[in-house]
Each structure stands twice: as structure tokens, then as C-alpha cells.
Amino acid sequence: MAKRFGAGELYGHDFSQLSPEEIRKKSSASSSSIPCPFKAQKPRGIQPVCSKKGGVCSLRLFESTESGEVIVSGMPTITCPNRFLEGNVVTQWVGETLLGTRNPLVVSELPFLMETSATGLTSDSDAVGKIDQILVHLERGHLRWCAVEMQAVYFSGMSMENDFRIMRNWKGPGIPFPASQRRPDYRSSGPKRLMPQLQTKVPTISRWGKKMAVIIDQGFWESLGEMRETRELSNSEIVWFVVSLESSTSGNFSLRPAEAHFTTLAHAVEGLTGGTPMSQERFENQIRERLALDTARKGSFQ
């Protein structure tokens, strides 16, 4: 039985539930012409369009049986950060947990890191780093807030365009099997992308007495190494809000709160790096083994 990752959702729709006609239509559409079902509406009820080329919100594992039937396995892995915006689920959950309100004000992409010029002066136009969201609770003139980082999962492997070529001409039956190999790349998403963001922003935010909320999905959380947790929110620097995608009566997936975890930055780094360094002796033994193998290979060609 062959297994490959392909589109779990197209423009918010469960790919496995689409008809051949819908697959052809959605895969042929321009993302700039299709509203994103998860972004908040703009003034006058205008729905923002999809900002992700191809409209793939998530990846999912597909299996091809010996009879040629294509079936899905497991839940989708979120690959677009806008997927976390569904129905203000995350905003309400984080606001209630950290600020004591389910209806916080939202400030998006606020500049945080400033580039210092030769004169030592800075301005907002010099911002070199931003925070995804700031949630605010104005209480009797007091500004209560927390920072929010949303981390979707990158994927490694062949481009989705290989799949779209088949989708655009798909006539069934059922759904097409992914054309190329790819997989969720948790290593690039965690240690290479998320960890530097946290190491840069959390120390300052923590000194200010504020919390960093990190939004990831269940698959991402399960890919991390063991992460020691604090018992109390007050002793934490980072709160991990883990969400899941669950099948709903609408035929699509719904975003649901799964679990929250309280950690320090140091313990978060341990989990993101996925383990502890090996001993020097073991590491050097690996060097010797690799050198011996390389020597043997060279000898076989002489």
C-alpha cells in the first residue's frame, strides 16, 4: 500500500469530500479570487481573499490500496497560519486563559525589533521583526496584553503543482492520489523557524511581565521532544495552545482547542531541539566510524 501526503484542505474544504468537478474547479482557480473562510471580515462585510498560492490549508496522508482506491489516513496538519483564525476560536481561548476575557482586542503584526542606525536613532520604519498578534484587554484604563505567535508546518519534498496538474483534469472516480512525495517538515518549522523567534522575543516580553502564547496543531506538538512544564501559569514564560482539526457535520473540518501547556523558554528550547546532546565519547565514536567507512569506500575504488 503506497502512502503520500497531499492536500488535506483546499480553500477550507475537506479535499477528500470534493467531487471530481469541484476538484477541477478549485485546483484551476486563482487564490487571489477566492475568499479565505478563516480571516476576519473587513469593513462593509468584505471577506479577504486567500493569500496562499494554490489554497492548500493543510496536508493529509493518503493511501492507495491494491485495488487502486484512494483513502485518507489521520487528521490534517495545518500548513497555513491563517487556518488558526477560524471563528476566533484561538483568540477567545488565549484571551480567557491569559487575560480573563473571551473578547480581547486584536492588534496584528506589531513591530517589535528595531534596527539601530549609525546615529543610534530608531523609528517605526526601521522595524525588522514583528509579532503575529497582540491580544489586549483594556480594564479600567489598565493595558493588559499578551503576545501571540502562530506556527504552521512547512513541508519538504516536491511542489504541490505536480498534484494540481492531475487535479485540473480529474474526472474520477473518487479523489486522485498525490503525484509526488512530500511530508510535514517539523524540523524546519520548529528548531529552524519557531525557536529563533522565541529566543529573540520571549526574554524581553518576559522581562515586561507578559506571556507569549504559541499556537500550533496537535501533530506539531507530538513531534516535539519531551518538554518540562511549570505547574502554575505565573511561573511560565510561554503557553502552548495546541489545537486540532476535527470532522464536523458540515463535511469540513472545525478548529478545536485541544490542550494548553505552560513552559519556560529554556524548557521550550529543549523540546524544540528534540533531545539532549550525546556524550563526547559517543560523538567521537561516530566520527571514527564515519572515517573508517569513508576509508573503506575509497579503498574499494582503487
Cα–Cα distance measured from residue 299 to residue 292, given in angstroms and rounded to the nearest whole number: 11
* Angle at alpha carbon of residue 109, lines to 106 and 112, rounded to 5°: 115
Per-residue pLDDT at 250: 77
Per-residue pLDDT at 124: 46
Q: Is residue 289 part of a domain?
A: no
Q: Is residue 279 part of a domain?
A: no
Per-residue pLDDT at 44: 80
| pLDDT-based confidence at residue 123 (cuts at 50, 70, 90) | very low
Q: Is residue 280 part of a domain?
A: no
Q: Is residue 31 part of a domain?
A: yes
Q: What is the mean predicted confidence (pLDDT) over 192-198?
A: 94
Per-residue pLDDT at 286: 87
Burial class (CB in 10 A: 0-12, 13-18, 19+), 195: middle
Number of domains in the chain: 1
Per-residue pLDDT at 115: 67
Cis geometry, peptide bond prior to residue 184 (ω within 30 degrees of 0):
no
- Cell 487528521 belongs to 75
Q: What is the mean predicted confidence (pLDDT) over 66-79?
A: 92
Q: 236-256: per-residue pLDDT in tens?
A: 999 999 999 998 777 799 999
Q: What is the mean predicted confidence (pLDDT) over 143-152?
A: 96
Q: Is residue 285 part of a domain?
A: no
Domain residue limits at 28: 2-273
Q: Is residue 217 part of a domain?
A: yes
Q: Is residue 14 part of a domain?
A: yes
Cα–Cα distance measured from residue 246 to residue 77, given in angstroms and rounded to the nearest whole number: 11
Percent of the chain with pLDDT over 90: 72
| pLDDT-based confidence at residue 145 (cuts at 50, 70, 90) | very high
Burial class (CB in 10 A: 0-12, 13-18, 19+), 258: middle
Q: What's the predicted TM-score (pTM) here?
A: 0.86
Cα–Cα distance measured from residue 46 to residue 59, given in angstroms and rounded to the nearest whole number: 28
Q: What is the mean predicted confidence (pLDDT) over 89-101?
A: 97
| pLDDT-based confidence at residue 30 (cuts at 50, 70, 90) | very high
Q: What is the mean predicted confidence (pLDDT) over 202-229?
A: 95
The more confidently predicted of residues 36 and 288 is 36
Cα–Cα distance measured from residue 235 to residue 232, given in angstroms and rounded to the nearest whole number: 6
Does residue 2 register a pLDDT over 60?
yes
Q: What is the mean predicted confidence (pLDDT) over 163-175?
A: 95
Average pLDDT of the chain to the nearest whole number: 90
Per-residue pLDDT at 117: 57
Percent of the chain with pLDDT over 70: 92
Q: What is the mean predicted confidence (pLDDT) over 24-37?
A: 93
| pLDDT-based confidence at residue 45 (cuts at 50, 70, 90) | confident
As beta bridge partners, residue 13 has 10
SS3 239: strand
Q: Is residue 268 part of a domain?
A: yes
